Amino acid sequence: MTNKSRKPTMMEMKTVVTNVLVELSNLSKHVTSLDVAFSKYVEFKGDEKGYLKFMKTKMEGLKNGPNAEESGKSPGGSSNPDRGKETTKTTNPNP
């Protein structure tokens, strides 16, 4: 027996795309709330200037290449292969 798959109907495609858009919107809201929570935490700790200086140093290190941070690694190294590839965007909740 052959199991031929049928093409999805336009309504099925619309439903799938709508569901993806809803999930994307939910993820966006979660990321925004995490960003605000993290900003408030840094504000609570009272070290905004120190954090900004730290992030500026890290971003400059990333611009200089992936090996620029080698001197700052711990002796055990990192088990995360994506270390140093991420970028962080912070927002000021009090514009």
pTM check: above 0.85: no
Reported confidence tier of residue 92, pLDDT bands at 50, 70, 90 = low
Tell me which residue has tokens 């909740």: 93
Tokens of 72: 């700052």
Q: Using only C-alpha atoms, what is the Rg of the chain?
A: 22
**Could you give the 3-state DSSP secondary structure of residue 82?**
coil
* Domain residue ranges in the chain: 11-63
Q: Judge contact between 56 and 88, C-beta under 8 A.
A: no
Q: Judge contact between 62 and 68, C-beta under 8 A.
A: yes
Tokens of 74: 């711990």
Q: Judge contact between 93 and 40, C-beta under 8 A.
A: yes
* pLDDT at residue 71 greater than cutoff 70: no
Tokens of 78: 């990192």
Tell me which residue has tokens 């200089």: 64
Reported confidence tier of residue 67, pLDDT bands at 50, 70, 90 = low
